[in-house]
Amino acid sequence: MTHDDFEPEQRETLAPHDLPAELATLSSMLLSRDAIADVTEIIKNPADFFRPAHQTVFAAIVSRYLLDEPVDPIVLADDLAKTGDLTRIGGVPYLHHLVQQAPSAAHGEYYAGIVREKAVLRNLQSACTRTLHVIADGTAETGELLDDLRAEVDGIVDDTASGDEDTLIGSDGEDFLEHLEHLQKNGPARGVKTGFTDFDTLTNGLQPGQLIVIAARPAIGKSTLGTDIVRHATIVEGLPAVFFSLEMSRTELKMKIASAQARVALHHLQSQNGMTDDDWTRLAKAWPMINQAPLDIVDDAGLTLTKIRSHCRRIKRKRDLRLVVIDYLQLMEGEMSGRSENRQQEVAKISRSLKKLAAELHVPVIAMSQLNRGAEQRTDKKPLLSDLRESGAIEQDANMVILLHREDAYDRESPRAGEADFIVAKNRGGPTATITTAFQGHYSRFVDMAQT
C-alpha cells in the first residue's frame, strides 16, 4: 500500500512532523462529527499535515462536513475517486486503515494540537531556509531581508493565536459603554477624507481597517480616482500614504498627480515644448506641496502580498501610515504553494489577504478592480456588483464597493458628457448611494460638480 505518491522525490526528511498524530487526528475525524468540529478549530489549512495524502483526506473530510453530509470511508472513497485522488492516497484500504488509528475520537483535539505545532515549526524552518538562500544569493538589501523575514514570522504568529480570550458579551462591557459615551459626545471618528464632499458626507471618510474596492471597466478612470484620493490625503490633508502601482510607472503617476494638482493639461506635460508660461506658473506654485507630500510610490509589476506587507510595515515604522492604495487587484501575483488553483481561487485569496492587511495595519486599504464585460452587453451600461471580475469573494470581503461609471465612455453625444457616477453599491457601515462628480480627463482628475 502506498500513501506517499503525492510526495516529491526529494523530501525534507528533517522537517518537523508527527505521522502518528496525523493518523490519529484523521481517525478521530472519521469516527465523530464532534471531533471534526474540534479539530477544525485548531487546523484550518490542509497544509498543516506533513504527508500530502493526509492533506487530501483532511480536505475531503472538511468539504463533506461543511455541506452537512455524512463522513465515512465509503463516501470519502467515492469523492476521492471522482477527483482522481483515491489511488494516490492508498485506495479504500488506507481509508479503513485510518479509522483504526485512534483509540478514541475524544482525543482528536489533542492530536490536532500536535499536528498544528509541528506545522508551525515547519513554517518557521521554511522561512529561515528561504532567508538563508537569499543571504547566500547576495542580492537583497539587509533592511528588505529583515522586513520580509519579520513579515513571514508575524504571519506565522498571527495564525497561531490561541483565541483563548473571553468572548462573552459582557467581558468588555465597560469598554463598550465608554466607546458609546465617546461616540455620543464626539460623533464617529473622522476617517481619511477623499476630497469629494458628498462622498465624504455619506461615508464619514474612509475608516481604518476597511477594504474599499473601486471597480470599473478599462479606461473609465479607476486609476485616476485612486490617484485623486491619495493625492488629496497626502497633499491636502498631509496624511502619510502609499500607492502600489502594478500598471503605471512612478513617472506616469507623478505626471498624473502634477497635472491634477497644478491644473496643467496632462498632454502638455507629456509633449515636447508643450507647456505654456501659464502652465509653468501653475506647476511652480503647486510643486512644493507635491514634492513634500508624505506619499510613497511603489511601482512593481511583480508585487505580491508579502512585498506589499513588508513595504507597509517599513513605512509605518518611519511615519504614521494612514492609507494604502493598490492598482490593481487582478494584476497581483499569488503566493500559493502545493496543488495548483484556478485564478478565481487565487483572486479570492488575495482579496481576503487585503482585508486582513487593512485590519492588521489599522488603515483603509483601497484596491482597484476590473469589471467583466457584463455591463457592456446590457442596454443600460451602468455596472452592477455581479460584474466584479473573477471572484465573488471581492464583493464579500469588501467593506465598501464603488462602481465607477461614465456615460460618455459609451456615448460621446450623451447629455451627461463630462459627468461621472460613483455608485456606492455596497457600504457595510452606512447607506448606499450614487454620487455624481465631474470628470476632467485633460487634468487626469475627478472633482465635485460644484467646482466646475
pLDDT number for residue 160: 62
Question: Is 80 a member of any domain?
Answer: yes
404, HSE (Cβ side, Cα atoms, 13 Å)? 24
pLDDT number for residue 167: 63
170, HSE (Cβ side, Cα atoms, 13 Å)? 0
Tens of pLDDT, residues 41-92: 888 889 899 999 999 999 999 888 888 788 889 999 999 999 899 988 889 9
Do the Cβ atoms of 108 and 116 come closer than 8 Å? no
Q: Residues of the chain with pLDDT > 70: what percent?
A: 88
Question: Is 178 a member of any domain?
Answer: no
pLDDT number for residue 115: 93
pLDDT number for residue 6: 46
Cα 427–428–432 angle (5° rounding)?
25
Residue 372 pLDDT level (bands cut at 50, 70, 90): confident
Question: Is 169 a member of any domain?
Answer: no
Residue 190 pLDDT level (bands cut at 50, 70, 90): confident
Q: What is the domain count for the chain? A: 2
pLDDT at 376 over 70: yes
Question: Is 182 a member of any domain?
Answer: no
Question: Is 180 a member of any domain?
Answer: no
Tens of pLDDT, residues 318-356: 888 999 999 877 777 665 444 445 667 777 778 888 888
Same domain? For 138 and 244 the reply is no
What is the 8-class DSSP label of residue 331?
G
Do the Cβ atoms of 312 and 240 come closer than 8 Å? no
pLDDT at 316 over 80: yes
What is the 8-class DSSP label of residue 101?
T
Average pLDDT, the chain: 83
Residue 135 pLDDT level (bands cut at 50, 70, 90): confident
Tens of pLDDT, residues 220-259: 888 899 999 999 999 999 999 999 988 888 888 888 998 8
3-state helix vs strand vs coil in the chain, percent to 5: 55, 15, 35
Tens of pLDDT, residues 381-409: 788 888 776 666 777 888 999 999 888 88
Same domain? For 306 and 400 the reply is yes
Same domain? For 125 and 222 the reply is no
pLDDT number for residue 146: 74
Residue 220's domain comprises: 189-451
Question: Is 176 a member of any domain?
Answer: no
- H-helix or E-strand containing 74? helix 73-83
Same domain? For 197 and 61 the reply is no
pLDDT at 9 over 50: no
Average pLDDT of span 301-319: 81
Same domain? For 218 and 344 the reply is yes
Same domain? For 79 and 153 the reply is yes
Average pLDDT of span 146-173: 67
Residue 2 pLDDT level (bands cut at 50, 70, 90): very low
CATH code where residue 59 lies: 1.10.860.10
Distance CA 142, CA 129 (A): 16
Same domain? For 144 and 205 the reply is no
CATH code where residue 441 lies: 3.40.50.300
Average pLDDT of span 107-130: 88
Same domain? For 151 and 294 the reply is no
